[in-house]
Amino acid sequence: MRYVLTSCLSLLIVYSSIAQQQVDICVYGGTSGGVIAAYTARKAGKTVILIEPGKHLGGMTSGGLGLTDIGNKYAITGISRDYYRRIGQHYGKFEQWIFEPHVAEELFNEYVKRGKVDVLFSHRLSSVTKSSGQIQEIVLENSDKPSSAKRTIRAKMFIDCSYEGDLMAKAGVSYTVGREANSKYNETISGVQLMTGHQLPDGIDPYKTPGKPESGLVWGVSPAKLEPNGTGDGKEQTYNYRICLSSDPANQVPITRPPGYDSTRYELLVRLLAAQPQKLSLNDYFIWSGMPNKKTDINNRNGFSTDMIGMNYAYPDGSYEKRAQIIRDHELYTKGLLYFFGHDSRVPLPLREQMLTWGYPKDEYTDSGNWSPQLYIREARRMVGAYVMTQANCEGKEVVTDGVGMAAYTMDSHNIQRIVIEKDGKKMAKNEGNVEVGGFGPYPISYRALIPKEGECRNLLVPVCLSASHIAYGSIRMEPVFMVLGQSTALAAVMAIDAKTSVQKVDIAKLQQELKANPLGDGSTPEILVDNEDQTRTTITGPWRIESKSKGGYGPSYLIYEGQGGEAASVRFKPEIVKAGKYHIYAYFPRLAKTASELGITVSDGKTSKSISIKPADIVVVGQTSGEWVSLGEYELPKGQSSAVDIGLKQADGPVVADAVLFVPTF
């Protein structure tokens, strides 16, 4: 007997006494990528079940990571971009990349409702049955009552969208944990890396009794030896919670002393506070980012913060019980840290006073004590698949032709261990493993990195725990990218079913074309992007130069004119309008340190023209990006190539930028 219960959000949830279920595609993991994968497959007409071991959808996107890691908006395509456009609609913007957790989750719920996706909550993987190189079925147990009756799901295709890669592992697919040595893939920043980012200053004593090694190490410092730079090991970058707090007294739950609170866990922090008495802002110890409605997304900063360094090594391959213990330890550590800052007399008074103005938000995580149910699993297992993405891909030294998504974020690893080193004859505590190396533009992610080797499994795709080295994964592992890859793998699964073939034999050119032609998966008319890189759709007048940046511009580069007048300077963007109708036009403007006070823009439909004045100083940039789309208005545009947008100089008192123009159908 099958019951479908509709919540206040009209979320379609499966509660069933049927022991076995058959679908076309089974998506394991209700992360952001999992939701988009399931939605994509349903819009393509396949039967789908989305399995979430917990009680909420969206993973970290709804779990507190409201300050979206983007890298470059150009890399975010398809339904993923649609998601952030819909977030924008909620807040009265074209698109928005910062948001409250409950807003993010409600939107994921809307996707599964619109897609009519069956969602099975509170069920996790128990076993996998394979035959002839294919997964035949998976057995699930109730996450809350493992001893209760199990369920079996049979499917033609499986997509593992979990942060842990459990389905991949139980299917016998090769994977790795930890960081490779530099020599493994001819890299330079994998393996052990003792760098300066998020680091303790010199001189912080690591011993319980300062200067006395025999007294033992303070909590959080490992006795491990510092290996040479580039050495591989099985250690994972640290996890943490992205913390949502509220400064609104009417929407606060007090930060109280958590169970098992132990102030000795923060002894190293006490010494750090004493070593830098001039640092009296919470922003000195946390990345304290503001979210809408007086809330936060708080992340780790500097030497001692929300990262519980070195306490997650057993998580990737751990049992469910072991993982639950690690998650609970991280929760108590983090709640204890917040309480410590507000109440311990060793914390300078200005810091205590600031912390006491914050509380847990009453309207977030209402069924989990106003605390996020999602620990930030930055990295767990990583598949060793048909192709391994490496540092060379990130830096553009190796470019794949079978890309089905892009990444653009800095190669980023949080610290991995806190150890004792000797410098100038003195022992001190140092963090090791932090890497932040960028300076590159968007790059393609190989389809082969999303599938196992053919001899291992022919009906499984892995868009989250994908095949990448530690340092390349650090660039790829961003929530919007997981959504892009979720869509790509779902469409690949659909194509494999239709062609009665394996995921390894999918027609990549056809997949790429379908992603481009039907980006929202619903047959709607695609928006039209004309970027300055498109020489067939842009005409440059005057001495513009190309500026290549990893951030700021939309795509690999933008055009900049630095003349002081006296010569014509403009860039014309000409779209190919495939279907006549109303289009809302936007121009992208990176924020420059210095810019002309006024830009002149002309929009033409081939018959009439409209002049628009833009003042760059009025452009408000929000979130982890340094550019924004600016509305040029809505226009009725004819089919063909007669429409155009010209960007030029109006006031010759500074540089002007021409980057990209977007034509969004509104019919």
Under the banding of pLDDT at 50, 70 and 90, the label for residue 595 is: confident
More confident residue, 8 or 127: 127
Which among 518, 553, 577 is the end of a domain?
518
State whether 579 and 512 are in the same domain: no
pLDDT band at 564 (very low <50, low <70, confident <90, very high): low
Question: Residue 4: is its pLDDT beyond 90?
Answer: no
pLDDT(590) > 90: no
**Confidence label for 9 from pLDDT (cuts 50, 70 and 90):** very low
Q: Let me know if residue 214 belongs to a domain.
A: no
> Do 511 and 536 have their domain in common?
no
Q: Is residue 191 part of a domain?
A: no
* C-alpha Rg value of the chain to the nearest Å: 26
User: Residue 291 pairs with which residues in a beta bridge?
Assistant: 295
Residues 153 and 275 in one domain: no
pLDDT of res. 650: 81
| Confidence (pLDDT) at 563 | 73
On whether residue 387 sits in a domain, the answer given is no
Please give the pLDDT value at position 551: 59
Q: What are the start-end ranges of the H helices in 24-165? A: 32-43, 78-90, 101-115
Name the domain count of the chain: 3
The reply to whether 462 and 541 lie within a common domain is no
573 shares a domain with 488: no
Let me know whether 514 and 534 are in one domain. Answer: no
Asked whether residue 539 falls in the same domain as residue 630, the answer is yes
Domain of residue 591: give its range. Answer: 528-665
| Same domain, residue pair 550 and 497 | no
> CA angle 69-196-380, nearest 5°?
50
Residue 311 maps to a domain: yes
Q: State the pLDDT at residue 3.
A: 30
Are 335 and 448 members of one domain? no
Within this chain, do residues 162 and 258 fall inside the same structural domain, yes or no?
no
Q: Has residue 578 been placed in a domain?
A: yes
Mean pLDDT for 484-490 is 98
CB 346 within 8 A of CB 270: yes
At 2 the pLDDT is 31
Confidence (pLDDT) at 18 = 61
pLDDT band at 593 (very low <50, low <70, confident <90, very high): confident
- The pLDDT tens digits for 330-339 are 999 999 999 9
Question: pLDDT tens for residues 244-255?
Answer: 999 999 999 999
Give the whole-angstrom CA distance, residue 46 versus residue 50: 12
Residue 344 lies in a domain: yes
Give me the mean pLDDT over the 420-439 stretch.
96
Q: What is the pLDDT of residues 273-309, one digit of tens each?
A: 999 999 999 999 999 999 999 999 999 999 999 999 9
pTM of the full predicted structure?
Answer: 0.95
In a domain, 354, yes or no: yes
- Which pLDDT score is estimated for 623? 85
Q: What is the pLDDT of residue 148?
A: 94
Q: What is the mean pLDDT of the chain?
A: 94
Residue after which a domain boundary falls, among 361, 379, 403: 361
Claim to verify: residue 54 and residue 127 sit in the same structural domain: yes
Question: Counting beta carbons within 10 angstroms of the beta carbon of residue 543, is it exposed (0 to 12), middle (13 to 18) or buried (19 or more)?
Answer: exposed
- In the structure encoding, which two tokens stand for residue 145, read together? 């009552």
pLDDT tens track for 603-660: 999 999 999 999 988 888 888 887 899 999 999 999 999 999 999 988 778 888 999 9
pLDDT higher than threshold 80 for residue 210 = yes
Q: Is the dihedral of CA 334, 337, 339, 342 positive or negative?
A: negative
pLDDT on residue 549: 65
Q: pLDDT exceeding 70 applies to what percent of the chain? A: 96
Strand runs labelled E in 248-395: 252-253, 286-291, 295-300, 360-361, 381-383
Across 130-134, 536-540, 565-569, least confident range: 565-569
Residue, of 654 and 473, whose pLDDT is higher: 473
Give the pLDDT score at 8: 39
Mean pLDDT (whole number) for 34-52: 98
Q: At 28, which CATH number?
A: 3.50.50.60
What residue has token string 């393509």?
Answer: 44
Query: Are 608 and 658 in the same domain?
Result: yes
pLDDT tens per residue across span 342-370 = 999 999 999 999 999 999 999 999 999 99
**6 — pLDDT class (breaks 50, 70, 90):** very low
pLDDT at position 15 over 90: no
% the chain with pLDDT above 90: 89
Domain boundary among 499, 518, 537: 518
The residue-averaged pLDDT of 183-207 equals: 97
Residue 7 lies in a domain: no
pLDDT at 13 over 60: no
Q: Are 25 and 156 in contact (CB under 8 A)?
A: yes
19 band by pLDDT with thresholds 50, 70 and 90: confident
> What is the domain-level CATH number for residue 558?
2.60.120.260
